Structure 1
Amino acid sequence: MASARHAARAARGSGVLVSRFLDFFRSTGKQLFRDPALLAGFIPLFVALSYSTRDIRWLIGASTLIPFLVLAIRAFDVVTSPKGGRDGLTGLPCRAALLEVLDKYFATPGASTRTAACMVIDLDDFHSFNERWGREAADEVLRQTANRLRSAVRDNDLVVRLDADAFALYLAPSEGMTLDSTLSIADRIQRALSEPLVLHGLTAYVSASVGIALASKSPEPTAASLLVAAERAMVEARSQGAGALRLFSAEMQTEIRASHELAEDLAKALENGEIVAWFQPQVSTETGQVTGFEALARWDHPSRGIVSPAEFLPAIEASGRTERLSEVMLYQGLKALVAWERGGFVIPSIGVNFAGLELRNPHLIDKVKWELDRFGLTADRLSVEILETVITETDDDIVLRNIKALGELGCGIDLDDFGTGHASISAIKRFKTSRIKIDRSFVTHIDKDGEQQRMVAAILTMAQQLQVESLAEGVETIGEHSILAQLGCQHVQGFGIARPMPFEDTFAWLAEHERKRAPTPRIERQRGA
């Protein structure tokens, strides 16, 4: 406090010059402490002021005020800025700011009589910028997109960055605001985004899928409900192809309501044991030996029986419960390994699918270690199955670190649905990939399609050179199995070996398979039979 009083006395003694400096600081101080370049020039400014007044005491005293000024400016920011902070890359507010503004809108009396809207904008095929030109160019695309969005909207509208390649807009109610004017703004935005971008001397073109939800049509008068509606409309637009636009409709509202009900049922199912692991074997093409099982989720519904994952997995993903699903599958998979061993069947590994949300968990490695220790298993008994697109489409540092850490722990890293993404050779090596799982689209009718054979042969040659194991998914016929074995694929999985089965049925299948096992496992059926 003494130093602060000294600074105040010194400041009073500096007269008009100090007064002018304080006026300057009031107008620019907030920007000063946000901008490193301006801040770097702050000390020379102090030196110049002290020199001009020939009073070094003023310099020393005023310098002691800097921490107080910084705290004051930060406090001012907290009071006046939307909650949730700003995105470091684009400078835009984040999701929380949008929800805050929407909450204020819905809390305003008579809000339903004024036209306001929420718009979600998703850049089409954005991951290709990362693949083609690298992270720096992709970041520049996001910065320029943010600038174009700011320029395309009105002063009282809000632009935020939702996530990696998605933005959102709040179109504030105003005189004459109608559905037509909302669509006009959306059209202006799409035209602005479609203008060529210049990236380090290269020209790039961007398009976006746009979803719009009018506040008056929101399923519920809440910020979260309106944002979900706009996101649902964006998903519909994206399904129509690049550059499409969709307005939230009553049909979508019905779908959202059904999705909410399904999500609630699934939340209960995950906790009361209705979500169970079924197991599909993986076998060696050389010996026919079972080399592993994959744990696949099934819903054992109390009234509907076994529900296909195609019906409930999208709802789990949409509700953000994939992390809990991975936990359930990990527990049941490791438990099965121990039970098989006690029953006389030593299965080398169990494959468990880890979704992007699970891989974002900063405590993932500790969780996996704990589960392995719980069952007395080593890390090499667990194969973590990761979609190829998770590696190619994410720039999340936590995800990438977790994948590398799982490999370093000793877990197998399986790239699932290989061939459907754009994984580079360097990515395969960087993440210590132990096996690629060739997508079923390359396997179907491979015995009758020479081009598919050449494509798979190229994949297998790459895997061999990189010392990565190979497994073909979706094998259904003797012909497919035979060609894959000839091409050098090491493992196969599919209905032709066995359909996924409940845990209690695996023992009988294993016993029968061992009894019949020959160098090449016998496949009893033809595709489609």
Structure 2
Amino acid sequence: MAGNDHQARPAPALAGDDPRDIGAGSTPSLILDHLRDGIALQDLSGRIEWINPACERMFGWPLEEVRGRKPQEFALPPAMRPAPENITAFRYDPSGGIFRRLHVVRNIRRDGSEFWNQLSHAMIDMGPREGDKRVVVTCRDITDQVRTEAALHRAKNDLEHAAHHDDLTGLANRTLLSAFLDEGQVRARLGDGCIGVLQLDIDKFKEINDTLGHAAGDATLRHVAAALAANCGRDDLACRTGGDEFLLVCLGVASQEALLARAELLRRAVAAPLDWHGQEIAVRISVGASRPDGATGTGTGEALIRQADQALYAAKEGGRGRVVVYTGHLGRRCSERQQMARDLRAALSQGQFRVHLQPQITPEDRRIAGCEALLRWQHPERGLLAPAAFMEVAESAALLSEIDQASTLLALDALKRLRDAGFDGLRLSLNVSSAILSAADYPALLHWALQARNLPPESVCVEILETALLDGGPAGIRTAVRRLRRMGVRVALDDFGTGYAGLAHLTAFEIDTIKLDRTLTGRLGHDSRSRAITRAVIRLCNSLGMTTVAEGVETQVELDFLRRARCPLAQGYTLARPMEVEAMIGWLRDAPAARLPGPGGHIPDARTRRP
């Protein structure tokens, strides 16, 4: 009913006792009394002459108490009321714009509650003289509408914020990052070289999640985000780009030294103690840094981010907790890795993988008890590659599970070929990574593959790395091991003795076979401590009903020691090299009754076998 602009905003008017009043009970009077909108009549100075019942209800004031007053005196919240002299001086301008548009003002009721009022003003002539002009003000309470519009506006802002920010940390997401990189100031900094990118992720974040739970993991992510936000300049952008990966775009960074200083500040901020329910979480990050460099052709923000990501990979590869700056040499290495990842995908689709078999032999009487299936990649340009040449790239490209599946099926095909050739007493060992054992339904896959080839489960031994028991999460691995053993499949612990808590795993997991790593067997010829440890492990496994396999046996001295120590099985180059299945069949046929010559005799090798 009232605005606070003494020149432009109206005050609702009220009609009073005037000879020209509408007669009570008349049709116009009935209409005005029953309107939902408030109607007020004012003179040109804004004094109220009459209001209808709806206006009385709207403001809580009866006509008798407001007649002759100006609405600015009581209808505006105290903080919005004009000065008394301005209220006194107020007068409607008949030619003013107030009569040509709606106005929305915040008014106050007699009880102190505020509401939003939509006002319209009309000038009417009630006589021939200038003083006969009156202002009719129509008032409509639109508080619900305003609140709805405000809620919609807030919801729109919330949706806009959610579309451009990470829910957990509140940092920018990739969508906002993409828009930010298109802004003029970023392009300008790319042009003058005053920009840098820091790409970082949390070292051993999976371990925090697995040991302390996802809530602790979330707290860690928020801790890093807070450190990032605290070190984010006014024109910078801090993002969470996914998982435990973060990014900081630094504008105004004119040198590599300045960018590295920012990275160091960030590392120190993240390293501040994080208390998690009384337990301190040590948080560390690895950082990749990149700046524009004409020599490397950095012309876009996206290119800088790719380079920072490659530098981050190098930082983690070099031992974590480091800051690495992108260089052209690093870029070439990353390009080679990316090409290898593409080649690996092609290898999976084109069937380029092979399995070679390495015999496992009893040192005591030189009988062949089984063989291990070893994966090889027949690269179209680089030739035959062992897993050491490509497994790291496969892991970073998330291809381990697919490669494991392919390797398993190829190995079982080889086992069926051996059995079809008459060698049905051999057991095949095959390697499985924690990626497929803990994440995929590997026992079901193996069960199906065995049935499809009519192979008995007891003819297979699944080898899992000792490190998988740590990295893959004990619960998932333990479940898979139990399912495999219930199927009748044997389970071996590979690379035993590589520095992890191996003895603890002998009781924590249902293991049938222990494979002694080359780090032990390779020292048997000259190190008394290694010999003592090897004897002790063999005795312990024998007492627990487990089979011990010594791998990497490369000398006759090592083989003789294992025979004296009563090691059940051995494999290595001194016995036989890995070979394709057809070569394996021929090699077996060259050893009558599957027995090899005695000590000091010639041991057939795939390279010297008769065609």
Is the structural similarity TM-score above 0.5?
yes
Q: CA deviation at 1:152?
A: 4.7
Matched with 1:123 is: 203
Deviations 1:201-255 (A, max 9, x none): 78786654433345887989686x7666445423433454463321122111111
Q: Which letter does structure 2 place at the counterpart of 1:170?
A: L
Matched with 1:21 is: none
Matched with 1:327 is: 405
Cα distance in 1 between the residues matched to 2:565 and 2:241: 47
Q: CA deviation at 1:354?
A: 1.6
1:494 to 536, 559, 572: 572
Cα distance in 2 between the residues matched to 1:220 and 1:345: 63
Q: Which letter does structure 2 place at the counterpart of 1:494?
A: G
**Equivalence map 1:422-461=2 (5 Å):** 422-423=500-501, 425-461=503-539
Matched with 1:316 is: 394
Cα distance in 1 between the residues matched to 2:486 and 2:163: 41
Deviations 1:70-122 (A, max 9, x none): xxx99997764358976xxxx5589xx85444444445567454425242234
Q: CA deviation at 1:293?
A: 1.6
CA contact (8 A) 1:218 1:226 kept: no
- Describe the shift of the 1:186–1:336 C-alpha distance in structure 2 as closer, same or farther (beyond 3 A): same
- Describe the shift of the 1:492–1:172 C-alpha distance in structure 2 as closer, same or farther (beyond 3 A): same
Cα distance in 2 between the residues matched to 1:374 and 1:289: 30
Matched with 2:269 is: 192
Q: CA deviation at 1:374?
A: 0.7
- Describe the shift of the 1:158–1:294 C-alpha distance in structure 2 as closer, same or farther (beyond 3 A): farther
Q: Which runs of 5+ in 1 are unaligned?
A: 1-72
Cα distance in 1 between the residues matched to 2:492 and 2:260: 45
- Describe the shift of the 1:302–1:519 C-alpha distance in structure 2 as closer, same or farther (beyond 3 A): closer
Deviations 1:468-494 (A, max 9, x none): 322111101111112123334221111
**Equivalence map 1:368-383=2 (5 Å):** 368-383=446-461
CA contact (8 A) 1:352 1:384 kept: yes
Cα distance in 2 between the residues matched to 1:442 and 1:320: 31
Q: Which letter does structure 1 place at the counterpart of 2:358?
A: Q
Deviations 1:29-61 (A, max 9, x none): xxxxxxxxxxxxxxxxxxxxxxxxxxxxxxxxx
SS at match of 2:348: helix
CA contact (8 A) 2:400 2:435 kept: yes
- Describe the shift of the 1:428–1:101 C-alpha distance in structure 2 as closer, same or farther (beyond 3 A): farther
- Describe the shift of the 1:190–1:518 C-alpha distance in structure 2 as closer, same or farther (beyond 3 A): same
* TM-score (ref. length: structure 1): 0.70
Q: Which moved more, 1:349-358 or 1:141-150?
A: 141-150
Deviations 1:336-393 (A, max 9, x none): 1111112111243222222233224433332222111110123222222222111112
Q: CA deviation at 1:407?
A: 3.3
Matched with 1:25 is: none
Q: Is 2:159 aligned against 1:81?
A: no
SS at match of 1:191: helix
Cα distance in 1 between the residues matched to 2:276 and 2:497: 29
- Describe the shift of the 1:195–1:405 C-alpha distance in structure 2 as closer, same or farther (beyond 3 A): same
SS at match of 2:378: strand
**Equivalence map 1:255-294=2 (5 Å):** 255-294=333-372
Matched with 2:435 is: 357
Q: Is 2:201 aligned against 1:136?
A: no
CA contact (8 A) 2:165 2:176 kept: no
Matched with 2:88 is: none
Cα distance in 2 between the residues matched to 1:419 and 1:198: 35
SS at match of 2:552: coil
Cα distance in 1 between the residues matched to 2:418 and 2:245: 50
Cα distance in 2 between the residues matched to 1:121 and 1:472: 39
Normalized per residue, the structure richer in helix is: 1
Q: Is 2:590 aligned against 1:512?
A: yes
Deviations 1:244-301 (A, max 9, x none): 3211221111112222222222322222222111111112233322222211122223
2:226 to 133, 147, 150: 150
- Describe the shift of the 1:407–1:460 C-alpha distance in structure 2 as closer, same or farther (beyond 3 A): same
Q: Which moved more, 1:493-502 or 1:402-411?
A: 402-411
Aligned residues with identical type, % of pairs: 23
- Describe the shift of the 1:174–1:495 C-alpha distance in structure 2 as closer, same or farther (beyond 3 A): same
Cα distance in 2 between the residues matched to 1:311 and 1:302: 14
Cα distance in 1 between the residues matched to 2:582 and 2:468: 32
Q: Which letter does structure 2 place at the counterpart of 1:493?
A: Q
- Describe the shift of the 1:105–1:277 C-alpha distance in structure 2 as closer, same or farther (beyond 3 A): farther
Cα distance in 1 between the residues matched to 2:366 and 2:379: 35
- Describe the shift of the 1:464–1:141 C-alpha distance in structure 2 as closer, same or farther (beyond 3 A): farther
Matched with 1:61 is: none
SS at match of 1:327: helix
Q: Which letter does structure 1 place at the counterpart of 2:312?
A: M
Matched with 1:18 is: none
Cα distance in 2 between the residues matched to 1:510 and 1:484: 23
Number of aligned residues: 440
Cα distance in 1 between the residues matched to 2:544 and 2:180: 57
Q: Which letter does structure 2 place at the counterpart of 1:186?
A: A
Cα distance in 2 between the residues matched to 1:488 and 1:83: 66
- Describe the shift of the 1:495–1:518 C-alpha distance in structure 2 as closer, same or farther (beyond 3 A): closer
Q: Which moved more, 1:447-456 or 1:407-416?
A: 407-416
SS at match of 2:390: helix
| Rg larger for | 2
Q: CA deviation at 1:404?
A: 3.8
SS at match of 2:377: strand
Structure having greater relative contact order (Cα 8 Å, sep ≥ 6): 1
- Describe the shift of the 1:350–1:76 C-alpha distance in structure 2 as closer, same or farther (beyond 3 A): farther
Q: Which letter does structure 2 place at the counterpart of 1:171?
A: L
Cα distance in 2 between the residues matched to 1:300 and 1:481: 32
Matched with 1:247 is: 325
- Describe the shift of the 1:296–1:424 C-alpha distance in structure 2 as closer, same or farther (beyond 3 A): closer
CA contact (8 A) 1:92 1:159 kept: no
SS at match of 2:585: helix
Cα distance in 2 between the residues matched to 1:99 and 1:400: 38
Cα distance in 1 between the residues matched to 2:165 and 2:353: 35
Q: Is 2:584 aligned against 1:503?
A: no
SS at match of 1:448: coil
Cα distance in 2 between the residues matched to 1:507 and 1:80: 66
